[in-house]
């Protein structure tokens, strides 16, 4: 049994270099996965921000168009009232 422990210790000592390489590979793999996830989140955030910005601008354009129509109607009403006022003053 002592001989088996000695062989195990020798083999683990020899494998320390390979163990370090395995750890480095695993760390790099996890780092790449983390960077990939963060990049995905960044793209998703940018896409959502762009969509929300476009929707907001569309809403502003629609609101401006509605207010332009209302302004034209008000101008027409003012013109009519002015014409009636001129007619009754004569």
Helix H or strand E encompassing 42: helix 16-89
Tell me the per-residue pLDDT of 24-72, one tens digit each, with 9 for 90 and over: 889 999 999 999 999 999 999 999 999 999 999 999 999 999 999 999 9
Q: How many domains does the chain have?
A: 1
- 3, pLDDT greater than 70: no
- What tens digit of pLDDT does each residue of 68-78 get? 999 999 999 99
Task: Show the CA angle centred on residue 70, arms to residues 65 and 74, nearest 5°.
Answer: 145
Q: Which domain holds residue 36?
A: 2-89
Concatenating the DSSP letter of every residue in 47-73 gives: HHHHHHHHHHHHHHHHHHHHHHHHHHH
Q: In this predicted model, which residue has the larger pLDDT, 8 or 79?
A: 79
- 0.75 exceeded by pTM: no
């Amino acid at each position: 049994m002592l001989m088996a422990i000695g062989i195990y210790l020798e083999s683990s000592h020899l494998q320390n270099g390979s163990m370090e390489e395995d750890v480095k590979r695993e760390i790099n793999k996890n780092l790449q996965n983390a960077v990939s996830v963060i990049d995905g989140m960044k793209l998703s955030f940018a896409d959502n921000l762009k969509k929300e910005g476009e929707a907001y601008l569309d809403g502003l354009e629609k609101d401006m168009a509605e207010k332009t129509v209302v302004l034209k109607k008000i101008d027409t009403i003012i013109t009519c009232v002015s014409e009636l006022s001129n007619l009754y003053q004569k």
